[in-house]
Amino acid sequence: MTDVRGHHYPVLDGMRGVAAIGVLIYHFKDLLPVPAFRAGYLAVDIFFCLSGFVIAHAYEDKLRAGLGVGRFALLRFIRLWPLVALGVIFGVAQAWLLPATADPALLAVTAPLAVLLNMLLLPSFIGAGGRIFPANPPHWSLFYEMAVNLLYAALLRWLSNRVLILLILAGFAVLALGIAAVGTANIGWARDQVAFGIGRVACTFFAGVLLYRLRDRIGAPRLALHWWLALLLTGLVLTLPVGGALRPLFDALFVLAGVPLLVWLGMASRPPARVLPLLAGLGTLSYPLYALHFPLYLAAADLAARYPGAGSAVAVAAMALACGLSLLIARLYDIPVRRRLAALFIISPQWPSRRPRP
């Protein structure tokens, strides 16, 4: 769900921010009196597709020109790790201070090993509990994103458009089995759902890569003239009150067709200059908000359980605090730490000068 600065698709930044806010409200939904973003889990599929598009835009030519998979992996790890590490620290601190809402895996004797794995952006299958990222549950999607990024870089020379289509359809087939079994696309985060998570990320990430490659052929929809429509539809889809037997069908259709259509609309939109700071701000907010908000939600849930009458006020205050802290942490921690890590590990800013591969 992370961005690569320097691209020229500002509405995609705005969509990512709206989707991150959707995830935030989705996790706080039980503390709120008004139903909103009840399908916020579908934001993950938007993140995966956006990642495919932006990674292809930023790195496909560089990879073909000789950027090695190892250097690419280092660049991606530097982009993700500072907030992953901070999110794990927040999650462990929350578990120690408020054990009533902690994941059982963080209270077991094997907790240090589970925390270490999560700190390295690796899933944990140790101890009790069902989550693969007990230290900070939303990080499960970052693991899949990192894995599919590396797979894309390693296999790029064989990834023709036809192969991309096959991967999209194969991923969707696996995801569809999971949706049929669970009744929703909210899968991939649990230990017994890893195969479904692989299908989920393959379907949407490679759809984003394909969209990038076809961007000049498919043109722009007429609706792209309204730059705000992509943001509005992103929020609307995540909060539609679809339930019952329609939920699995809606989720499947949205992942396969709705997500690429949304990203297509966003990439084709050209907003006026006056709204660019807003879209950039939403983009800056998105990753830290996604990576850091869950421990704050658990703390708010604990406080709301102690003072039931104040649940809604606690939730609103906690969500506002999460947004404000995310913007501060992005500026004061994430960006400076990434710069230091890049200076430390990346010796030369120049890419290897080799002929492009055929």
Report yes or no on 162 lying in a domain. Answer: yes
pLDDT at position 350 over 70: no
Banded model confidence at residue 184, pLDDT cuts 50, 70, 90:
very high
The overall average pLDDT reported for the chain is 92
CA distance 300 to 318: 7
Choose between 214 and 350: higher pLDDT.
214
Asked if residues 146 and 74 have their Cβ atoms less than 8 Å apart, the reply is no
Q: Which residue has the higher pLDDT, 33 or 194?
A: 194
**Mean pLDDT calculated for residue range 181-195:** 96
The pLDDT value given to residue 172: 98
Rounded CA separation 201/145 (Å): 7
Whether residue 272 lies inside any domain: the answer is yes
Q: How many domains does the chain have?
A: 1
What per-residue confidence (pLDDT) applies to 347?
52
> What is the reported pLDDT for 128?
80
Instruction: Say how far apart CA 313 and CA 63 lie, in whole Å.
Output: 49
Q: Is residue 1 part of a domain?
A: no
Q: Span 183-205, mean pLDDT?
A: 97
Per DSSP, the three-state class of 131 is: strand
For position 7, what pLDDT does the model report? 58
Instruction: Say if 14 falls within a structural domain.
Output: yes
Give the pLDDT confidence score for residue 219 in this predicted structure: 78
122-178 pLDDT, tens digit per residue, is 999 998 889 999 999 999 999 999 999 999 999 999 999 999 999 999 999 999 999
Residue range 282-322, pLDDT digits in tens: 999 999 999 999 999 999 999 999 988 888 999 999 999 99
Tell me if 270 is assigned to some domain. Answer: yes
Q: Show the CA angle centred on residue 58, arms to residues 57 and 59, nearest 5°.
A: 105
The domain of 274 spans 10-345
Q: Tell me, yes or no, whether 17 lies in a domain.
A: yes
Amino acid 259: pLDDT: 97
In which band, very low, low, confident or very high, does the pLDDT at 2 lie, cut at 50, 70 and 90? low
Would the pTM count as exceeding 0.85? yes
> Does residue 351 belong to any structural domain of this protein?
no
The pLDDT score that the predictor gives to residue 127 is: 81
Query: Could you tell me if residue 83 is left (phi over 0), alpha (psi between -120 and 50 degrees) or otherwise beta?
Result: alpha
84 domain-assigned: yes
Confidence of residue 335 (pLDDT cuts 50, 70, 90): very high
Whether 357 shows a pLDDT value over 90: the answer reads no
- Of the pLDDT bands very low, low, confident and very high (cuts 50, 70, 90), residue 255 is very high
